[in-house]
Amino acid sequence: MIYKVLFAILFMGIQIFSYAQPYKIEEGVKRIVFVGNSITYAGGYVNYIDTYLSIRYPKKNYEIINLGLPSETVSGLSEPNHANGAFPRPNLHDRLESLLNKTKPDLIFACYGMNDGIYMPLDETRFKKFRDGISRLHSEVVKQEAEIIHLTPPIYDGQKGKTYSDVLEVYSDWLMEQKRSSGWNVIDIHHPMKQELKIRRLKDANFSFAKDGVHPNMAGHFIMAKAVLLSLGAEEFAQAKDFEEVLYQYKNGAEVFTHIQTRQRVSKDAWLTYVGHQRPKMNLGLSMEEARNILQDLKIKIQVLMNE
């Protein structure tokens, strides 16, 4: 068993080296927007990335906005009787123009795919809808003279098993091909999650990142953030097993993380309401004016902690 674990760890290292090709956040980038579905809205990996960039590069003053929307797709597809017939899946493209105009991003991270195959076997029509939706998103962001980095979808590990897992593998591979063939910026989170899952299941056959197969726990969000940050050149994460291992290298890191979690909770609901969307049963959040006041107070608290 020990040889299997060591081999898996070695293979994981090879995978990370292969997929983590550093990107640089260009000088002048201030506003960074994350778009995606409920996994992005949950915010774990966004919070980790925001915290690291805030601590590591305080003078950059990055503003990181989470505009993930639960249930959303880029494909425009929705399975029959979604949400027990209460509403169809929202489509990013119904809010994309408003999102770009109101946030005016310098850089967008986009993480789609999990919902886009609508949890059915691979089908060329559905796959084309995903490809078209991602390509349209890419084009619209480029038109705004902003940069976009695509993230491959997280892994699926639910009741539909290998069938839907294979769908996301195909979607991920297609995105990685766009990196090679079209020069897109793409960061692979799918394969690092898949390899980490294999390693952990050698030790615990019942281990899972997501009890429902879809929504990663915090360990899963860490692997997602780790893949992104490694691609941004954050070498501290190469051997890190969890976020705390990196966080505690920095003075007041835990306190900063707590404030950033609060900042993200306040920010995302205010921004979602301000931008607008068609998904019911979402928190309205504070008005942008109220949110900005709270966010400014939190910014000052974070700056004080980092200057101590």
User: What is the number of residues in the chain?
Assistant: 308
For the chain, what is the radius of gyration of the CA atoms?
Answer: 19
The CA-CA-CA angle for residues 188, 190, 194, to 5°, reads: 135
Among candidate residues 218, 213, 223, 225, the one with its CA nearest the CA of residue 156: 213
Distance CA 189, CA 209 (A): 13
- Give the C-alpha separation, 212 to 159, whole Å: 8
Angstrom distances, CA of residue 164 to CA of 60, 103, 176: 40, 34, 19
Map out the domains of the chain with their CATH numbers: 2-248 (3.40.50.1110)
Q: How far apart are CA 132 and CA 50, in angstroms?
A: 30
The C-alpha atoms of residue 166 and residue 122 are separated, in whole angstroms, by: 8
Would you say 77 and 278 are in contact if contact means Cβ atoms under 8 Å apart?
no
- Give the pLDDT of residue 13: 45
Quick one: which of 2, 8, 132, 4 has its CA closest to 75? 132
Residue 111 parent element (H or E): strand 107-111
Contact predicate 34/67, CB 8 Å:
yes
User: Which residues are within 8 A (CB) of 33 and not within 5 positions of it... i.e. 6 or more apart?
Assistant: 64, 65, 67, 99, 103, 105, 107, 108, 109
Q: 204 in helix, strand or coil?
A: coil
Residues 6+ positions from 29 with CB-CB distance below 8 Å: 60, 62, 106, 107, 147
191 Cβ contact list (under 8 Å, min separation 6): 15, 19, 152, 172
Closest of 152, 154, 112, 155 to residue 136, by C-alpha: 112
pLDDT of residue 163: 94
Q: How crowded is residue 280: how many other Cβ atoms within 10 Å of its Cβ?
A: 10
Which ranges in the chain belong to alpha helices (H)? Answer: 2-19, 38-42, 44-56, 96-103, 124-143, 161-182, 190-203, 218-231, 243-247, 253-275, 288-307
Per-residue pLDDT of the chain (308 residues; tens, 9 = 90+): 443 433 343 444 444 444 445 788 999 999 999 999 999 999 999 999 999 999 999 999 999 999 999 999 999 999 989 999 999 999 999 999 999 999 999 999 999 999 999 999 999 999 999 999 999 999 999 999 999 999 999 999 987 778 999 999 999 999 999 999 999 999 999 999 999 999 999 999 999 999 999 999 999 999 999 999 999 999 999 999 999 999 989 999 999 999 999 999 999 999 999 999 999 999 999 999 999 999 999 999 999 998 87
Contacts (Cβ under 8 Å, ≥6 apart) of 25? 32, 60, 62, 107, 232
- Whether the CB-CB separation of 232 and 24 falls below 8 Å is answered with yes
Confidence at residue 3, expressed as pLDDT on a 0 to 100 scale: 38
pTM for the model stands at: 0.93
- The residue type found at 211 is K
